[in-house]
Structure 1
Amino acid sequence: MKDKKNFKLLILFCLIFSISLTYPKISKGNEQTTEKRLNEISNNVRCLVCRNQSIYDSNSDFANDIKKIIIIHLKDNKSDEFIYKFLKSKYGEYILFKPPFQINTLILWILPFILIISGLIFFTFKFLKFRKND
């Protein structure tokens, strides 16, 4: 009877010991993932104090505060999309370096293509007219 009890304690000790060995690896992996996500999000968020600089590149107090907010959300297992929406609701769309495609920003996305195509058509007709006159 005593041997069974000792055997159970030995197994319990082995389980606890094996879990404690794997825990730092899991924790370190989560920290690396969190750091990677923080860097990615920070590169896509504009520092409102600095000129055209991401909060990743900025050392301003504002950038550090935003990084702290992002870290809190990451530790709460919030998605990147949630964090972007949160920042956008608090500071406006200007805080995002890459504005989302929306109807009200449609002209910003289409205008460069329209200008390039118009320019190509214009120069093609000018070139054809020039060759026809020769």
Structure 2
Amino acid sequence: MKILKVFIILFFVISFSELKSDEVNDILKHKILKNIRCLICQGQSVYDSESEFASSIKLIVDRKINEGLKEDSIYEFLREKYGDWIVYDPQLNKNTYILWLLPLLLFLLGGAIMKKKLKFRN
């Protein structure tokens, strides 16, 4: 009788751990798909798009997650295949310095202009 109880407990533990694993994979999949641009639809993520391209990317991401790849590895795979533009949040590299530094430079320039204007008023 004790053996039967042990098997029942093990069954529930294993089934709940598999459910949690599937839930974690779904959350990761949705996160990745929301951060990937659909190359067919203007301004839509793959998560929101219904195009054939988006459907194929959804399958690829799902397959890569099932293979055990991490989020960064999947992004790197997609960047190699489709270029940096496919990811909404590009990495900092020699091609994207201006993209990352321009908002900071504009903020500093605006602050300097405001300081100069306020200085002349006093």
TM range, normalised to the smaller chain?
0.7 to 0.9
SS at match of 2:37: coil
* TM-score, length basis structure 1: 0.79
Residue 117 of structure 1: how far off its partner (Å): 1.7
Residue 14 of structure 1: how far off its partner (Å): 5.6
Higher helix share: 1
| Superposition map of 1:20-99 within 5 A | 20-99=11-90
Residue 18 of structure 1: how far off its partner (Å): 4.0
Q: Could you say which residue in structure 2 is the equivalent of 1:3?
A: none
**1:49 & 1:119 partners in 2: Cα distance?**
36
**1:49 & 1:38 partners in 2: Cα distance?**
20
Residue 114 of structure 1: how far off its partner (Å): 1.5
**1:15 & 1:102 partners in 2: Cα distance?**
55
Counting aligned pairs with the same residue, the percent is 31
Q: What is the CA RMSD across the aligned residues, in angstroms?
A: 2.1
* TM-score, length basis structure 2: 0.85
Structure 2 residue identity aligned to 1:55: V
**2:45 & 2:73 partners in 1: Cα distance?**
19
Report how many aligned residue pairs link the two structures. 122
